[in-house]
């Protein structure tokens, strides 16, 4: 086995993770904390009960500038970018030339600014921005800022905590974004996250990352949370992980992400693969799956109908601490995608009963506008 540890990148919070006793693992080309001495189970439940701080600085931050960056971005995503209001962000899908999913990402229209702010996934960021640069050549300039830090503060007490370090920030509602100071450092703050909980993502200059993180961790409600709990939280929330639940083998209809294509784009049908995505009948669908019993179903576990015929596969699965049982998602043939459908999971050659179930498995608790 080749030792690749020397080639791994480190986020601006690496030294802090070591100080806090984190177990570091390779992830998307970085050395990242998978858990702290608290342990994954307690980290997960603490985030649901109070507030957890995640280092997500490995994600790909960038700014899009040009005469009309919003219009240009619509060449590569079916989301309504032009119609996004100032001070808001939106979830989008980056489509390839076949209309399947190259990545998912967040885009933001900062108030009073011409540039758009983007965040893409860590493992795909170089390829994503190279693809955008080629497709949008002449229309925009992409300035990557992989040197910036990105922190996620998640949980029901996140608003109260961040208000102490950034007075007025708690008035934000879900998917709103502002420039603000956090612990005395300039930041881009969005009320969003990847746990299903209320919370914020805080983008700051890399040199300020540790200062802001320490200020947040000094608050009694906050614990550091690693990748292990981040994954179990997002799975309970029914949120996709790129490279597992979505990739270039599926389109938005199959992935059950049609809500990310707003009405104007559906009407105009002006994005790649529109006919297939809007008019075709998907042969498979992404669904929630609840195994019967306590044994979790892992990724790549075959899903079979009651005659034993394989009809799909688990793409994400594990134990859900907040629901105290196994949860999973995956793809099944469309005829078996209805909630309540009984299926079997083939584990070590044996059928284990399960049923198709609605997601999220644990309720979303975003702070939405009235």
- Supply the pLDDT for residue 6: 61
CATH number at residue 181: 3.30.1360.120
Measured between alpha carbons, how far is 352 from 209 in angstroms, rounded to an integer?
46
Report how far residue 312's alpha carbon sits from residue 345's, in angstroms, rounded to the nearest whole number. 10
Confidence of residue 3 (pLDDT cuts 50, 70, 90): very low
Is residue 62 domain-shared with residue 137, that is, in the same domain?
Answer: yes
Domain housing 180: 5-57+148-236
**How many domains is the chain built from?**
2
Please tell me whether residues 230 and 129 are part of one structural domain: no
DSSP string for 196-258: SSSEEEEEE-GGGHHHHHHHHHTSTTEEE--HHHHHHHHHHTT---BTTTBSTT--TTTTT-G
Mean pLDDT of 99-127: 98
- What's the predicted TM-score (pTM) here? 0.96
Q: What is the mean pLDDT of residues 262-278?
A: 97
pLDDT over 50 at 20, yes or no: yes
pLDDT of residue 1: 36
Residue 122 lies in a domain: yes
Work out the angle at residue 287's Cα, subtended by the Cα atoms of residues 281 and 292, and round it to the nearest 5 degrees. 140
Shared-domain flag, residues 116 and 159: no
Whether residues 85 and 230 fall in one domain? no
Mean pLDDT of 204-230: 98
Kindly state whether residue 331 falls inside one of the protein's structural domains: no
Q: What is the pLDDT of residues 28-69, one digit of tens each?
A: 999 999 999 999 999 999 999 999 999 999 999 999 999 999
pLDDT digits (tens, 9 = 90+) for 153-191: 999 999 999 999 999 999 999 999 999 999 999 999 999
Among residues 209, 236, 263, the one where a domain terminates is 236
């Amino acid at each position: 086995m080749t030792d690749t540890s020397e080639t791994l990148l480190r986020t601006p919070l690496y030294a802090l993770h070591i100080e806090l006793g984190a177990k570091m693992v390779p992830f998307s080309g970085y050395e990242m904390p998978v858990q702290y001495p608290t342990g994954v189970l307690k980290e997960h439940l603490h985030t649901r009960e109070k507030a957890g701080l995640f280092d997500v600085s490995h994600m790909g931050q960038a700014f899009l500038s040009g005469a009309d960056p919003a219009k240009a971005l619509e060449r590569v995503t079916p989301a309504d970018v032009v119609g996004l209001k100032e001070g808001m962000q939106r979830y989008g899908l980056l489509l390839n030339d076949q209309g399947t999913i190259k990545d998912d990402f967040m885009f933001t229209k900062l108030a009073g600014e011409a540039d758009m702010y983007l965040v893409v996934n860590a493992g795909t960021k170089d390829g994503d921005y190279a693809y955008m640069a080629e497709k949008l050549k002449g229309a925009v300039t992409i300035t990557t800022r992989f040197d910036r830090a990105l922190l996620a503060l998640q949980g029901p007490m996140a608003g109260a905590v961040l208000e102490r370090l950034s007075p007025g920030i708690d008035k934000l509602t879900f998917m709103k974004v502002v420039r603000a100071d956090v612990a005395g450092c300039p930041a881009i703050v969005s009320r969003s996250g990847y746990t299903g909980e209320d919370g914020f993502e805080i983008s700051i200059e890399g040199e300020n990352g540790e200062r802001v993180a320490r200020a947040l961790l000094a608050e009694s409600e906050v614990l550091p949370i690693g990748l292990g709990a981040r994954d179990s939280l997002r799975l309970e929330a029914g949120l996709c992980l790129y490279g597992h639940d979505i990739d270039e083998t599926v389109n938005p209809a199959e992935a059950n992400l049609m809500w990310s294509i707003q009405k104007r784009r559906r009407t105009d049908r002006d994005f790649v693969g529109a006919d297939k995505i809007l008019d075709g009948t998907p042969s498979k669908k992404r669904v929630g799956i609840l195994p019967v019993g306590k044994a979790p179903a892992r990724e790549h576990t075959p899903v079979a109908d009651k005659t034993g015929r394989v009809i799909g596969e688990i793409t994400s699965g594990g134990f859900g601490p907040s629901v105290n049982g196994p949860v999973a998602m995956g793809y099944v043939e469309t005829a078996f995608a209805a909630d309540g459908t009984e299926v079997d999971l083939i584990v070590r050659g044996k059928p284990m009963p399960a049923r198709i179930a609605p997601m999220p498995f644990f309720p979303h608790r975003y702070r939405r506008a009235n």
